[in-house]
């Protein structure tokens, strides 16, 4: 009887380990490859840093659930954009990534007034779309 109880406890513990490993493989995704609707004053961005570290920009990033900081550069092409080139600086956005969700980043071009000179307030990074997305790391170290 004691051996059966020991075996049952071992099986339960092993199942718990398997579940936590499986949970570690499930991820979320943050993307910047889809062109957002310009009619909503939204434009593409390029990711330059992820969690403070420089990255080579790619279409999307698989990430564990939790808060992640993206540094992005705007790609606004509009005749209404009157600022100097020096004003076109990167900005950061915090994204609370949930499991099996994809977040699409964009630059929101503010049209509330005319921004010119070195004024950097003409845009802000936003999550313009969130959608369900099956995401899993191929291995825990991905």
Contact 120, 54 (CB under 8 A): no
Scan for tokens 């564990």, then name that residue. 64
What pLDDT is recorded for position 137?
Answer: 82
Asked whether the predicted pLDDT for residue 138 surpasses 80, the reply is: no
Q: What is the pLDDT of residues 73-93, one digit of tens each?
A: 999 999 999 999 999 999 999
pTM: 0.80
Q: What is the pLDDT of residues 6-36, one digit of tens each?
A: 444 444 444 444 445 556 678 999 999 999 9
Give the span between the Cα atoms of 18 and 15, in whole angstroms: 5
Give the span between the Cα atoms of 72 and 21, in whole angstroms: 32
What pLDDT is recorded for position 54?
Answer: 98
The shares of helix, strand and coil residues in the chain, as percent rounded to the nearest 5, are 20, 40, 35
Q: What is the pLDDT of residues 90-103, one digit of tens each?
A: 999 999 999 999 99
74: closest CA among 94, 93, 60, 55? 93
Give the span between the Cα atoms of 127 and 30, in whole angstroms: 9
């Amino acid at each position: 009887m004691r051996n059966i109880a020991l075996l049952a406890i071992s099986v339960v513990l092993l199942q718990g380990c398997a579940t936590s490993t499986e949970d570690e493989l499930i991820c979320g995704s943050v993307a910047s490859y889809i062109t957002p609707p310009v009619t909503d004053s939204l434009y593409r961005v390029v990711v330059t840093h992820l969690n403070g570290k420089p990255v080579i920009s790619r279409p999307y990033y698989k990430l564990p659930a939790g808060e992640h900081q993206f540094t992005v550069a705007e790609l606004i092409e509009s005749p209404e954009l009157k600022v100097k080139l020096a004003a076109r600086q990167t900005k950061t956005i915090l994204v609370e990534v949930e499991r099996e969700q994809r977040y699409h980043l964009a630059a929101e071009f503010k049209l509330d007034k005319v921004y010119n000179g070195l004024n950097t307030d003409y845009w802000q990074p936003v999550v313009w779309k969130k959608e369900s997305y099956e995401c899993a790391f191929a291995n825990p170290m991905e």
